[in-house]
Structure 1
Amino acid sequence: MLFSSQPLKGLYVLYSILATLARLPIIISISLLPSLRPHPKWTFLQTLMNRLLQEFLYHSAKLRVKTPQNLDPGSWKEKYVTITPGNLSLYTGILTSVPSIKPTKIGAAWYGDMKSNGEIVLHFHGGGFVIGDARGDAKYAGELMAKYVAPRALLPDYRLASNPLGHFPAAIQDSVSAYEYLLSSGIPAHKIIISGDSAGASMAIALLRYISDENSLPAPKAALIWSPPAELGDVLENTRDMATDYLVDEFLNWSLDAYTDNGKHDMKQPYMTPLGNPFQSETPMWVHVGGVEKFCDTALRWVKEMREVEGNTVELCVEELGNHDLMYVGSVNGFKKEAEKAVKMARKFVDGI
């Protein structure tokens, strides 16, 4: 891309900072007046941060930023572990569809009491498959999971499509590796809660589908699905609630280009687009959606489809004023209270299983 390498990258970074600063007085003014806010019930902070997140994602997409991934624990010490792929017999079907994409070592961050004998959340972070990391951007999600859902949570640093050989099906391979890591560590499936937000929600759904399709792994106790991108293709044409969602088309285009390896993979296929491809799962699912996010309509349709499959248990929670992925950005965009309420409801769902 034009701005993805120097010297144009440096010039664009400078431009993006200056342009955002120039627009800031207008953004603040709009945020101060309830009548001008994208939603009249939003607060000043929610409006301001939604607009700034739009700016951030727009410029990140233009730059095609890279997120370095390494296995060095650094200050995390024993709380950052290396996951080695399981037996190759675990990776079959769709996971072998691209010969150049093979299971590999990944890192993973522990939150909470990693030595607890209680339940554990295996959470896949969001970021459109192109940004995000378990120790930084996803820290809020990890802390919420370990505080409200289970005594401990493991967040894998799965391969990102913005890096070489990180496109589909690399992330799904890594989800299988992470799940097998917990099982081989002696944690029974009935103590494991799968969770994922946004792109991570797509991974969680894909993992459940893979378990159902291949029958090589036991089903986890529950799955928590946060703001799932149920239909990737049509969302680019969906302008519903555009002003109330920070997901801009430039970022979605980058995400899809990277994850599909510039269109080499059909995004309508079941492991990318759950909508229209329902499946049976032994695992009870709890789905959280923002009422004014771009993915709302398609997520609701997917939930309806999944509920119609005999044997499925799918519970839905819609946060009326919420936009996309409160689990990932709730601490910075003014929806912290709503995010905490949601994880408490998720725990209540797990208790009822």
Structure 2
Amino acid sequence: MSDQNIKPQTTGGIWFPNAFRPEVADAKKPIILHFHPGGYVMGDVRVDGAFAARLLSEKIGCYALWTDHGEAVGLPAPRGALIFSPAVSFLAATDPKTVLENPNYKNDYMDPTFVTWGARRFVLNEPTATTYMNPLQSPFKSPCPIWVYCGGCELFYDDATEFVSKMKDIPGNEVSYVVKRLANHDISFAGNLLGWKTEAEKIADRAGRWVAELLH
């Protein structure tokens, strides 16, 4: 997938727990480049939003786990990708009916208004962007191993499961899939608010072990 209209630009970011310093002894620790959930607008690593950032740094020892276009900017190839509770069908989510008819609608806390709003703000009316908006229907050859987590009671569960299956079918892809059967959406990043704190820590532990295997 490529788009000549996409140009590199500077954007804001936050180092957690503190800024990277290449001269210190632990500079070779992996770094996680995290694109936060919630339609890319809900939550961050500040104060009460720091639950996920703390978990990732504690369990994975992060200080780049992966990057995009690495060769073009002189960075090494990705080592791996961690994907938590992914939304992989944004085009479908622009219609609130897809949420109301989802078999997990009564199990999850997300409502049609929020899901549809987030999808409509993200989706572009540009045909060349379709593969980015709808990876469920556009599986791809990954340059690195992928670890995916999803809760069994999430609105996104069926889509995530289908996406994992399609990605595994592509020769050369390495995809691991972890499911917490009774969990609703994104407990990895909101478990402290939803009563799933212990389970979220266990998921982070599993992600950390996977990363450790990649690095050794």
Q: Give the TM-score category using the shorter length.
A: 0.7 to 0.9
Q: Give the Cα separation in 1 of the matches to 2:129 and 2:103.
A: 21
Supply the RMSD in Å over aligned alpha carbons.
2.6
Deviations along 1:274-318, one digit per CA (max 9) or x if unpaired, are 112111122111000000000000000000111111111000000
- Tell me by how many angstroms 1:193 deviates: 1.8
- Tell me by how many angstroms 1:94 deviates: 2.6
Structure 1 pair 95/348, CA: closer, same or farther in 2 (3 Å)? farther
Q: Which of 225, 233, 239 does residue 83 from structure 2 map onto?
A: 225
Deviations along 1:132-181, one digit per CA (max 9) or x if unpaired, are 333245411110011001243xxxxxxxxxxxxxxxxxxxxxxxxxxxxx
Identity fraction in percent: 31
Please tell me whether the aligned partners of residues 233 and 267 of structure 1 are also in contact (alpha carbons under 8 angstroms). no
Q: Give the Cα separation in 1 of the matches to 2:85 and 2:163.
A: 12
State the TM-score, normalizing by the size of structure 2.
0.82
Equivalent position amino acid for 1:273 in 2: N
Residue 94 in 1 paired to residue 7 in 2?
A: no
Q: Which of 229, 253, 257 does residue 116 from structure 2 map onto?
A: 253
Please tell me whether the aligned partners of residues 112 and 146 of structure 1 are also in contact (alpha carbons under 8 angstroms). no
Structure 1 pair 104/241, CA: closer, same or farther in 2 (3 Å)? same
Deviations along 1:100-131, one digit per CA (max 9) or x if unpaired, are x8723413232268443222222221111333
Structure 1 pair 106/309, CA: closer, same or farther in 2 (3 Å)? same
Residue of structure 2 equivalent to 1:88: none
Please tell me whether the aligned partners of residues 291 and 323 of structure 1 are also in contact (alpha carbons under 8 angstroms). yes
Query: More strand by proportion, 1 or 2?
Result: 1
1:4-23 to 2 correspondences below 5 Å: none
State the TM-score, normalizing by the size of structure 1.
0.52
Using CA pairs under 8 Å that are at least 6 residues apart, name the structure with larger relative contact order, 1 or 2.
2
- Tell me by how many angstroms 1:215 deviates: 6.3
Q: Which runs of 5+ in 1 are unaligned?
A: 1-91, 153-191, 195-206
Residue of structure 2 equivalent to 1:182: none
Structure 1 residue matching 2:113: 3-state secondary structure: helix
Equivalent position amino acid for 1:330 in 2: G
Please tell me whether the aligned partners of residues 112 and 151 of structure 1 are also in contact (alpha carbons under 8 angstroms). no
Aligned pairs, number: 202
- Tell me by how many angstroms 1:347 deviates: 1.4
Structure 2 residue matching 1:287: 3-state secondary structure: strand
Residue of structure 2 equivalent to 1:109: 15
Structure 1 residue matching 2:210: 3-state secondary structure: helix
4+ long deviations beyond 6 Å: none
- Tell me by how many angstroms 1:257 deviates: 2.1
Q: Give the Cα separation in 2 of the matches to 1:140 and 1:103.
A: 28
1:1-353 to 2 correspondences below 5 Å: 93-94=2-3, 96-97=5-6, 103-111=9-17, 114-115=20-21, 116-117=26-27, 118-136=29-47, 138-152=49-63, 192-194=64-66, 211=69, 216=72, 218-235=76-93, 236=96, 237=98, 238-260=101-123, 264-265=125-126, 269-353=130-214
CA radius of gyration, larger in: 1
Q: Which runs of 5+ in 2 are unaligned?
A: none
